[in-house]
Chains A and B, each alone.
Chain A
Amino acid sequence: MTTAVAPASGERRWARLLARWETLLLVALIGLIVLGTYLSPFFLTPGNFSNLIAALMEVAIMALPMTLIIVAGEIDLSVESMAGLASAILGFLWAAGVPLWVDIPLVLVVGALGGLLNGLLVARGGLPSLVVTLGTLALFRGLALIVLGPRGISDFPAAFTELGFGHVPGTLIPWPFVIFLALALLLGIVLHRTWIGRQVYAIGKNTGAARFSGVRVTRVKVSLFVLSGLIAALAGIILTSRLSSARADAGSGMTLTVVTVVLLGGVNIFGGSGTIPGVVLAVLAVAVMQNALRLAHVTVEVQSIALGLLLILSVVIPTFAHQAKSAIDRVRGGRPPPADSVPHGERALS
């Protein structure tokens, strides 16, 4: 789990791979699928899987930029409101007779601008992102309510609702899932295989050191928030399409699930570590869990108990595993791990 470089013998490498958070998630995912199949014969049917994935895709899509932001040591609580604002503006423009091919790019621009506001206040103004995005969480939702009020707009054309509701022709794979996978692939490559990603980790591990090493911290952070706003707006469009209804309160409460999924994926809340594959696995695990609970007739509201417990356990288990491991190392007389190493979701970059 620690980044301590060991002359990895084959056995050691396997041990390290096994102790990885992503591996644990995969095991949990398989366990949940087995449990689900045991609970209900409908669990493994393609139609059911298609439904369970589609319902979580807005959250999943927003979790991707959130991963990068949390790795960089910040947080964006405003995503759910941006999704709501996107939905409201889309509905407002459509109801006013503006064609969708104009509306959608416009909504995405609004999303990027909202992200820019967050980014400038946080990165340039040096303000705490927790408070700034709490402020814009209220602000964006307020703007959504001002734009659309309490009404719902639902007379969207079938071609548009197909985006959120339809499947890839000939399969049961929902379109939003395709969008999610494409974004995950793109952001995964950016985070894990490019200098941009390396800079994001550097900022999250030690902002000061990153700045002295020539990382343009302000620019990277602002870009991440712009990306987050843009993708939150995209999620708002998909949500509007899937529900075939534009509402100002769209996406309410989603931020909680987004952050939960990201942390469950092994991303350290203090920044500096975490992976996109981990978050993708966490999305799948949450989708399967929610579906298993639904088939067991547990209502969506009560399912939040399981989600909250999972979130807490995702931090507690690695911490205790780490403590147990260092205790064993001490008994064996091995080198103790560095005291400041963070066990949660730790991943060697180099």
Chain B
Amino acid sequence: MASMAETPATVALGAPRTPGQWLSTIARQRELSLVAIMVVLGAFVTIAAPQFLTVANISQVAVLASVIAVAAIGEALVVITRNVDLSVEATIGLVAYCVAHVLELHALDAPAAIGLGLGIGLVLGMINGVIVTLFKVPAIVATLGTLSVFRGVDYLIAGSHQVPLAGLPPGFSETAQASVFGIPLFVLVAVVVVVIGTVILRWTRFGRQLYAVGSNPEAAAILGIPSRLVVFTAFSLCGLLAGVAGVMWVMEFGTINGTSATGVVLAVVAAVVVGGVNIFGGSGTLAGAALGALFLGFIANALILVGLSQFWLQAIYGVVILAAVSADAIILRRLKRATSRAGVR
């Protein structure tokens, strides 16, 4: 519901010059409000725990958040089309294990293993796409099913084996800590994905079609938009990005087994929702999804630094999700009321 202007159908809502205008500006700028909240909260946390505002800490938070951000960007693509992909965590886990395992066996060198990981991610995404578009299974059912299947395959391959950090080639795990011009490599990866994705969404035909399909499927069909191809592509890209996140997962954590990345789907979908992507499709930005991931990572870090136990994390995630979705609804409702008043005048 943030970035209302993304959808042709809702452009009219933001247009009138009314008291509701400032609200519509805020509604459109979920990214700004997230940054503002982080700055204010960050100030408080820094007072309580000065080590928060150190380069080492900030970059650690950003590196961790980048892994979730990349997956969340893929998820956002799918959610914008009015679908959802619950299987991302299983894709991340399966890719992570496969990459770690081939590296451990010295079957492939690092670049080839990374390529394999991305390929597996893409194929899994395409499988989701086929089930949803060709077999016409609702996305939530299809990806709940593939979540089970992909995770099961992960267990089947991994068994009780665990790839230790030492099993990875020297330097592989260090990639997670690498930086270019002082900026962590992982953060650069996330930024590059956001930039490329945003360019595609804003200035290509495919990007506009993505919003059109999610905003109004019937209208999109009448306009002759190939909805099934668009949705299939969104799922494929989501799989590919989950593959990227899977490779990053290996570099970040090193120790990988069949249960790696269990429960991550919560963080990914939460990042998308907190980032202001409308769960009913048609609006939202990739930068928002990435910032949503950063926001959640920031909260987790702040909690630990302030001295609250880890156990509070889940509860606060829950509150953040509920707050974000409530804010969306309230802003949208006021916006509608303001514009309908303007219409009467």
User: Interface on A for B, CB 8 Å cutoff?
Assistant: 75, 121, 125-128, 130-132, 134-143, 145-146, 149, 248, 256, 259-260, 263, 269-270, 299, 301-309, 311-312, 315-316, 319
- With A142-B313, A307-B148 known as contacts, the answer to whether A135 contacts B322 (CB < 8 A) is yes
Complex Cα distance, B138 from A312, in Å, reads 9
Encode B65-90 as 1/0 by CB contact (under 8 A) with A: 00000000000000000001000000
Q: Assess the B149–A304 pair: CB atoms within 8 A.
A: yes
Contact A142:B315 (CB < 8 A) given known A269-B141, A305-B156, A311-B141: yes
What chain B residues lie within 8 Å of A139 (beta carbons)?
314-315, 317-319, 322
Chain B residue nearest in CB terms to A145: B311
- B188 an interface residue at 8 Å Cβ cutoff? no
How long is the Cα–Cα vector from A263 to B145 in the complex, in angstroms?
Answer: 11
Identify which of residues 124-154 in chain B touch chain A, using a CB-to-CB cut-off of 8 Å: 131, 135-138, 140-142, 144-153
Chain A residues with Cβ below 8 Å from B120 are none
A306 to B279, CA, bound (A): 29
**In the bound complex, do residue A128 and residue B155 qualify as a contact, i.e. CB atoms below 8 Å apart?**
no
Per the bound structure, the CA–CA distance linking A195 and B326 in Å amounts to 32
Look across to chain B and name the residue whose beta carbon is closest to the beta carbon of A312: B145
Task: Evaluate contact between A121 and B148: CB separation under 8 angstroms.
Answer: no
* Closest partner residue, chain B, to A314 (CB atom): B141
**Contacts A305-B148, A308-B149 supplied; 14 other A-B pairs, CB < 8 Å:** A125-B329, A136-B318, A138-B321, A142-B315, A145-B315, A256-B147, A256-B148, A260-B145, A260-B148, A269-B141, A301-B151, A301-B152, A312-B145, A319-B135
Q: Does B230 contact A (CB under 8 A)?
A: no
B253 on interface, CB distance cutoff 8 Å? no
Beta-carbon contact of B315 and A131 below 8 Å: no
Q: Does B269 contact A (CB under 8 A)?
A: yes
A260 and B137 within 8 A (CB)? no
Which one of B141, B148, B316 lies within 8 Å of A304 (CB-CB)? B148
Tell me, rounded to whole Å, the shortest Cβ–Cβ distance linking B66 to chain A.
21
| Interface SS, B side | helix
- Asked if A138 and B148 sit within 8 Å, CB to CB, the answer is no
> Given contacts A135-B322, A256-B144, A305-B153, is CB(A142)–CB(B329) below 8 Å?
no
Flag if B145 contacts A302 (CB, 8 Å). no
The SS class assigned to the A binding surface is helix
Contact B148 A263 (CB under 8 A): no
Q: For the complex, is B266 an interface residue (Cβ under 8 Å from A)? A: yes
Please name the residue on chain B nearest to A310 by beta carbon: B145
Considering the complex, give the chain A residue whose CB is closest to the CB of B158: A301
Chain B: interface size category: 35 or more
CA distance A125 to B320 in the complex (A): 16
Chain A hits for B155, CB < 8 A: 299, 301-302, 304
- Please state if A121 and B326 are interface contacts (CB–CB under 8 Å): yes
Known: A134-B269, A138-B314. A309 touches B149 (CB 8 A): yes
**From B145, B280, B320, contact of A128 by CB (8 A):** B280
Is the C-beta of B258 less than 8 angstroms from some C-beta in chain A? yes
Q: Which A-B residue pairs are the 10 nearest by beta carbons?
A: A142-B315, A139-B318, A308-B148, A142-B314, A305-B152, A135-B321, A138-B318, A301-B155, A308-B149, A145-B311
Q: Select A302's contact among B135, B150, B152, B279, beta carbons within 8 Å.
A: B152
A134 touches B270 (CB 8 A): yes
Q: Once the chains bind, are A312 and B137 in contact (CB under 8 Å)?
A: yes
Task: Give Cα distance in the complex from A202 to B321, angstroms.
Answer: 30
Whether, in the assembled complex, B191 has its beta carbon less than 8 Å from a beta carbon of chain A, the answer is no
| B273 lies within 8 A of chain A by Cβ | yes
- CB of A140 within 8 A of CB of B149, answer no
In the complex, residue of chain B having the shortest beta-carbon distance to the beta carbon of A142:
B315
Whether A302 contacts B156 by the Cβ 8 Å rule is yes
Interface presence of B325 (CB below 8 A): yes
Q: How far is the CA of A135 from the CA of B142 in the complex (A)?
A: 22
Given contacts A128-B279, A130-B140, A138-B321, contact A143 B149 (CB under 8 A): no
Q: Are B149 and A259 in contact (CB under 8 A)?
A: no
Which of B138, B142, B148, B319 has the most chain A CB within a 10 Å cutoff? B148
Indicate if the CB atoms of A304 and B136 lie closer than 8 Å.
no
- Given A127-B326, A146-B312, A149-B311, A312-B321 contact (CB < 8 Å): no
11 contacts between A and B (CB under 8 A): A127-B329, A131-B273, A134-B269, A140-B318, A142-B314, A142-B315, A146-B315, A304-B149, A308-B148, A311-B141, A315-B141
